Amino acid sequence: MTHDSKNTPHAKASDTYAKQKQDKHTISLESQLLKKATEDLQKLYDNFDEASSEDIKNILNYNRKLWAVFFDSAIETPEERTKMRGDNIVNLCNFVFKRCTSIITTPDKEKLLVLIDINHEIAAGIDNGTSKIIPKSST
């Protein structure tokens, strides 16, 4: 799957987030955590039929908790961001929260793909396009 990481809403949100964060260690850690969450979501997608409801819940709750960090960061320092940029991050976080909850309550393998894509795009944006995780399309 090929992505033009500069022209997607996810990329714009990740660019905004990366500009807000000044600590390179924190940015690297967040990128690595997003990559781990992306790998976990991809494994869940690949093995969805064998996954227990507990597996699904644990993986999606991990992803949701990770996104809660981005949400908190977006709302805690409003003076460092424009309203539009901050709203994009908050809206993206809210979408991720709702999608995770939706999959937990009504398991659907295909709903995972957008979460995989968003995590991948944001990690790539935080890394300035050097992410090595590329979500697979369904086979």
The two structure tokens encoding residue 92: 């993206």
pLDDT tens column, 17-35:
555 544 555 667 888 999 9
Closest CA to 115 of 54, 53, 61, 50: 61
Read off the pLDDT of residues 59-69 as tens digits, 9 standing for 90 and up. 999 999 999 98
* Residues listed for the chain: 139
132 and 31 Cβ atoms separated by less than 8 Å: no
Question: CATH classification of 9-126, choosing from 1.10.357, 1.25.40, 1.20.120, 1.10.10?
Answer: 1.20.120
Q: Could you tell me the pTM of the whole model?
A: 0.72
Label residues 102-121 b or e (16+ Cβ within 10 Å = b). ebbeeeebeebbebbbbbbb
- pLDDT for the residue 99: 98
Domain ranges of the chain: 9-126
pLDDT (0 to 100) of residue 138: 41
